[in-house]
Structure 1
Amino acid sequence: MEEVEEPVSPTGQYLNSSALCIYILGVLEFEIPIDDCHTFSLLQDVFLPINTRFSSVMIGDHNGQRKWKKVEVKLEEHINVPIFPTRSNLLYDDYLDEYLSKIAMEHLPQNRPLWEIHIIKYPTSNAAGTVVFKLHHALGDGYSLMGALLSCLQRADNPSLPFTIPFSKRPKSSFNTIKVLKRFPSFFFSAFRSVSDFGWSILKSSFLQDDQTPIRSRGEDTKLRYITISNVSFSMENIKEVKSKLGVTTNDVIAGLIFLGIRLYMQEVYVESSKSQSTALVLLNTRNISGYKSVKEMVDKTNYSASWGNRFAFLHIPIPKLSDSNLANPLEFIWKAHKEINRMKNSLATPLTGMLLNMVKKFKGPEAAAKYVRSTLRNSSTTVSSIIGPVEKMSLDNQPIKGLYFMVAGPPESLTITITTYMGKVRIAFGLEKGFIDKQKMKSCMENSLEKIILAARNISA
């Protein structure tokens, strides 16, 4: 029986509008050939019960407000098993790349629940088979959807044990009068910086565009941008080695690595662009919780607002320019990333921007707010988002999963970067505007970036 479930959140409306339509592709690489005989029962009994949004469509009521309406799900409409041409070398990497590019630019029908699954039964250099979940970003953010995915999977070594997720523990804050008094003068400076950051954020979203560079074209489009997807994998041990040497966070090291890799790519394509004005929008999870929730906790209304949905914010982080100084000492990219990300996390610019979006929605409507978000994305050079995966190997229906990464499709940028950690590996994936960014060169520059950073860290005196 059809029934109206719940209002669509403001962010959900922004992400599914005429101005902006964003999708998430989750790619699971299997260790053995895929047996899909239980696909229907797994989707019906495990996936759909996680959240009513997976069996709902987005509708508008008589007041113009959008809501999730529960409908009957015809699973056969959501399952795709492509047939590739036979080839002699038995590996289908090129076909998989083309297929991912194809589905990334296709819109999901709005008259059925906003997700689909693609089962690719062909071997590649990375896997014996690949499963791709395509979900509309309006359903939830990476945190929500990763939690949902983990609820469908089991540990390959022991299905009865929970996954280990390496979330950092948030330090407990304690009130101390002396500390407050000592920090009182810094409050005014912090307030001034927050206002300054908020003003700059408005300018960046409205008027100030990044320079045109080898990673930022001026090509405007109203449909999904045609992208090609590439990725590179690093050992977490290498990242931790640099982290311990510098006393920063894992995210700081990865951000610095990415920024240096981007500048190295710019330098290779056009030397002068390595000193251009370029900005990365780094996504920050705004939930005050650590660790993913179980299925029961996710659907529990008392935890729902904290665990599910789109709860993230953009941090405008300038990409450091490439100079003789930081090329000689690439660790400067990590220090600058550390400084900027910490400063923006503690700034009030992010909540102020959220308040501004709510005001735009209230007085001009959700489409106007969606255009503001699109402008924010369009005026930057790249978006960087990350998901933390488990330490142990996962399995789906007793089929072990060798690798995991995701990609965001639909942003109006030429370059989108995602980071996934899984089984001691860091997977950095790139959504690259096809015909504009060279994916092999970008991959090579990222690998070169890590080599330079590791070498510089090891040269630090003990």
Structure 2
Amino acid sequence: MEDTGLKLRSIRTRLSRQSYAAPDQQAGTNGDTKLLKEWPGADDSAWLVHDEPVSPAGRVFLQSSFNAHIIVILGSEVPINVDVLKLGIRNTLLKHKRFRSVIRTNQKGNLHWAPVTVNLDDHIIIAGSDDVNSPTFVEAYAAQLAQAPPLEPSRPLFEFHIVRAKLGDATENVILRAHHVLGDGTSLMSLLLACTRKAEDPQSLPTVPTQRNRIRKKLSTLKAFFLFLWKSLLILWYTLFDVCIFTATTIWLNDSQTPLKGKRGVEKLPRKLAHRDLSMDDIKAIKSVTGGTVSDVVFGMVAAGLSRYLQQRYAEEMNCQGLSSMKMIFEDKHSKKIMKKKRLDYLRVRACIMVNLRKSPGLQELERMMNGGPEVRWGNQMSYSILPVPVAIFDNPLEYVVRSKSIIDKKKVSLGALFAYQSGTMLMNLVGSEMPTRLTLNCSDHTTLAFSSVFGPLEQVEFFGHKITHIIPTVVGQPQALCVHVQTYMGKATVVVCTAMDVIPDPERLCENIGDALKSMKQQLSNESIK
């Protein structure tokens, strides 16, 4: 990290190591994480009575070629109180088995989670630099964590970085860096939110939006039978289609080479992070008119922003090649060929999203677990789903939402993600993790971007007494040049864009294009209401 100009130092306090011991640490283990070996080749049968196996997806994330980490920036209105933060972490997160365990290999060669005593000093880091007054320092610091040294495998795989710098309305920021093997993004975000409380009512958990079950109309037996038959046919057809696309993508089907698409090895390039806050009221207004969901509007908004960005980049390239004259473009055959390849509707641009196949535990369940209640099911039981992005230039910007709704509705019916998970698990059990890891890398490498949207609290929350102004998540380490996350919190939707700098040097412009796309959709609603 010294090459980046950042100075990191661990916090040392006088608190005893015994105070950090996991509550269920059993006698007979020395608890000294320094004595543990790294997982590749460790062999200690004494741990078998304490551990649980690492999930198939987790085994993929542990491969050196797929070293993915989840990063979450939490902005605080007040300066971070280190002692209060440590006390809160010790009383909550450290009671979760993943945050007090390391990964070891047993005598049979299988990876398992093994409990250890946690020295919290090793997991809290203060960032120091001469450039903390820069408005983009926090984002730059978070992006540089992508090139930070790997997390020490002899300790639980997480870190909290305290960045004493401003970002937006936040006076200081806490950045969680966690290895993806700890869990999927939705589960980790749920666990993090279970550690928060409402700012106006510190005794209450935050309110998180949930999906409403549609009221089903009573149908006659005949109609119900034909409806069941029709839905079964749709499931069969869309699943078969997704299986074919997924198989082709893992082997050879690649996206078009665009200014958004990286090449193999892009995960090792320096990253750049940018974000922008958008109004949830505007998104909900578009949702009510189009008849879709918030996710439909968000994906359509991102598709419109990507379309604008590609159009701008191609126009700049044409100008650099001296093809700014439209007459020259259409008279020159070579220019015609270039334009045809760069027409947006000719491009194959797809998003790779992670699908959580296990029902995520609620905040109340996680809170009870951290208070000594029963353990909830956890792990990386997730799969990939590939969504084609409707990049095009539409006269009506709401068309992006309509197209996105159609794409997402088909994915909801399909069982393609379940097939990908089951086939990957079976393949891993037969031949080991090397081939499934290579196929997973191909799936990411052959698509253009990673995308996800997570719903956060409706009201302001506090994290161990620190009122939170923003929640900014992202993932680093995947073989894609572009990663787009949308996080809702406190009446706003935060668009987070993380890019490989050598491929997309201006993620802030991409954020601006996505915001402008939402504005144009809102303007279209106003025009239609006037008519």
Pair in the same fold by TM > 0.5? yes
Q: CA deviation at 1:136?
A: 0.8
Q: Secondary structure at the match of 2:209?
A: coil
Paired with 2:62 and 2:528, the residues of 1 have a C-alpha distance of 48
2:80 matched residue in structure 1: 34
Residue deviations 1:166-206, cap 9 Å, x none? 11123477996334322225533542332122111110121
Q: Secondary structure at the match of 2:66?
A: coil
* 2:344 maps to 1:274: yes
Deviation at 1:225, TM superposition (A): 4.0
Distance 2:522 2:67 in 1: 38
In the other structure, the counterpart of 2:527 is: 459
1:44 aligns to 2:90 (yes or no): yes
Partner residue in 1 for 2:482? 415
Alignment check: 8 A CA contact 2:387 2:407 kept? yes
Contact residue 224 and residue 409 of structure 1 kept, 8 A: no
- Return the match for 1:98 from 140, 147, 152: 140
**Aligned partner letter, 1:371:** R
1:128 — aligned with what?
171
When residues 243 and 31 of structure 1 are mapped into structure 2, their CA distance, relative to the original with a 3 A threshold, is: same
Cα distance in 2 between the residues matched to 1:453 and 1:116? 40
Q: Deviations over 1:111-141 (max 9, x none)?
A: 2110000001122334100000111111111
- Counterpart CA distance in 1 for 2:361 and 2:524 is 33
- Say how many residue pairs are matched: 452
**2:504 pairs with 1:432:** no
Give distance in 1, aligned partners of 2:508 and 2:194.
35
Question: 8, 18, 23: which is aligned to 2:54?
Answer: 8
Alignment check: 8 A CA contact 1:167 1:291 kept:
no
- Return the offset for 1:403: 0.9
Give the root-mean-square deviation of aligned CA atoms. Answer: 2.3
The 1:365/1:171 distance shift into structure 2, 3 A limit, reads farther
Question: 39-48 or 411-420, which moves further after superposition?
Answer: 39-48
- TM-score, normalised to structure 2, is 0.80
Deviations 1:342-394 (A, max 9, x none): 10110122222222112211222122212211111111001111221111111
Question: Computing the radius of gyration over CA atoms, which structure comes out larger, 1 or 2?
Answer: 2
**Equivalence for 2:433:** 366
Within 5 Å, which residues of 2 pair with 1:15-414? 15-49=61-95, 51-85=96-130, 91-106=133-148, 107-171=150-214, 177-183=221-227, 184-185=229-230, 187-221=232-266, 224-271=268-315, 272=342, 274-275=344-345, 276-288=347-359, 291-298=362-369, 304-305=376-377, 308-323=378-393, 326=394, 328-414=395-481
Give, as a single letter, the amino acid of the residue that structure 1 aligns with 2:60.
Y
SS at match of 1:81: strand
Q: Percent identity?
A: 25
Counterpart Cα distance in 1 of 2:289 and 2:442: 39
Secondary structure at the residue paired with 1:329? coil
- Asked whether the equivalents of residues 198 and 204 of structure 2 are also in contact (C-alpha less than 8 Å), the reply is yes
4+ aligned runs moved over 4 Å, structure 1: 172-176, 288-291, 296-303
State the one-letter code of the partner of 2:309. Answer: Y
Kept in 2, the 8 Å contact 1:266–1:273? The answer is no
Opposite residue 320 of structure 1, the aligned amino acid is P
- Is the Cα–Cα contact under 8 Å of residues 166 and 390 in structure 1 kept in the other structure? yes
* TM-score between both structures, scaled by the size of structure 1: 0.91
Query: For the residues of structure 2 that align with 1:126 and 1:372, how far apart are their CA atoms?
Result: 42
Q: Structure 1 unaligned runs (5+)?
A: none
CA contact (8 A) 2:100 2:117 kept: yes
Deviation track 1:298-357 (CA, whole Å, cap 9, x = no partner) reads 56897722xx2224332211111313xx1x111111111111111011012222222211
Which ranges in structure 2 are unaligned for 5 or more consecutive residues? 1-28, 32-46, 316-341
Seen in structure 2, the aligned counterparts of structure 1 residues 172 and 6 have a Cα distance that, compared at 3 Å, is: farther
Q: Is 2:295–2:453's contact at 8 Å kept on the other side of the alignment?
A: no
